[in-house]
Amino acid sequence: MPFATVRGMKFHYQQAGAGPEIVLIHGVTGDLSIWFLCKAVQSLSTTHRVTAFDLRGHGYSDAPPSGYTSADHAADLLALMDALGMERASVVGHSFGGVIAAHAAAVAPERIESIVFSDPYFPALRHLEDVSRWGHWQNFRAQADRAGVELSDEHWYDLGKFFDQVMHLDDDRLLKFRREVGLPALNRLLRLGKTTCGDDTKVAAGLTAELIETISAPSLAVYGEFSPFLATAEYLTTHLPGCRSVIIPGAQHRAPEENPEAFLKALLDFFQGDRAAAPTGDALNAR
């Protein structure tokens, strides 16, 4: 199992293939396995060198008590690229991984070749979204409620409140919560609950709307047909001059899991096809 030590921490990573660099960044509470399950690593590595890694606090990487803003993660990404000999790389970021990718591109544009935004929302753009319309959120909210964890539409973005409640469940409610979400998910939450991750992910950390709009790298916004963050998708394609979009049929927030075939096609078309010729917005629907 390969590790790289950067910024005083060990990061677990996996690599495959040879050629131009692509780095895959998962979201909060996930790990790099998402990129193997949707076959992104296997497919992209036929023409690129693909690197997937576990964010700090996730998977097999170290979990320091603090430092979980998009700025912190972006610094980790750039340091990891240095350690692995990457001068420039394209990046694919799912959910908060997309925020990390954007932050890196904004502060170090010379290092980021292109970006795929996989259904992120941005703390600085939170006002654009109404997550109460998202069916998956309502299902999870009901699931958590059965285990004694209160979630609200008003504070849907506040992982800190969520983690804190999970950390303070009594034995009976903790058992109920484990039954609802599964032991692996519970263990991930308990690990992150000992850090500032929940509070850090809700702050802009310098990635303001104005800074987001400076991103000039070619980019693709890949959002589920029923994503709660479609207003953010529209914002990116409207405000980033090099950004196009793909809507993944049938998917909500987790297109790599919910429609992996269409998600993978969008990636392959972007990285192996003619980006300039790709249609924009709703005209392009991966099937």
Q: How do residues 18-60 score in pLDDT, each as one tens digit?
A: 999 999 999 999 999 999 999 999 999 999 999 999 999 999 9
Strands 219-224, 89-94: pairing kind: unpaired
Q: Which two tokens stand for residue 118?
A: 């996989």
So where are the chain's domains?
Answer: 3-128+202-283, 132-200
Looking at per-residue pLDDT, the higher value among 63 and 182 belongs to: 63
Q: Is the pLDDT of residue 278 over 50?
A: no
- From residue 27, alpha-carbon distances to 148, 154, 277 in Å are 25, 21, 30
Please, which pLDDT band fits residue 233 given cuts at 50, 70 and 90? Answer: very high
How would you classify residue 29: left for phi > 0, otherwise alpha for psi between -120 and 50, otherwise beta? left
For 23, phi and psi rounded to 5 degrees?
A: -115, 130
Q: Is the pLDDT of residue 283 over 60?
A: no
Q: Which two tokens stand for residue 230?
A: 């479609």
CATH superfamily of the domain spanning 3-128+202-283: Alpha/Beta hydrolase fold, catalytic domain (3.40.50.1820)
Task: For residues 120 and 265, give the distance between their C-alpha atoms in angstroms, rounded to a whole number.
Answer: 19
Q: Is the pLDDT of residue 237 over 80?
A: yes
pLDDT in tens, 159-214: 888 888 889 888 888 888 888 888 988 999 999 999 999 999 999 999 999 999 99
- Contacting residues for 133 by C-beta, under 8 A, at least 6 apart: 228
- The reported pTM is 0.90
Task: Report the candidate in 228, 213, 225, 221 with the shortest Cα–Cα distance to residue 243.
Answer: 221
pLDDT in tens, 106-160: 999 999 999 999 999 999 999 998 776 666 667 777 777 777 788 777 777 788 8
Vertex 60 angle, CA 56 and 62, to 5°: 40
Looking at per-residue pLDDT, the higher value among 193 and 274 belongs to: 193
Residue 127 burial class via C-beta count within 10 angstroms: exposed 0-12, middle 13-18, buried 19 and up: exposed
Number of Cβ atoms within 10 Å of the Cβ of 60: 15
As a whole number of Å, the CA-based R_g of the chain is 18
Strands 219-224, 112-118: pairing kind: parallel
CB 240 within 8 A of CB 116: no
Please, which pLDDT band fits residue 14 given cuts at 50, 70 and 90? Answer: very high
Task: For residues 230 and 97, give the distance between their C-alpha atoms in angstroms, rounded to a whole number.
Answer: 17
CB 55 within 8 A of CB 26: yes
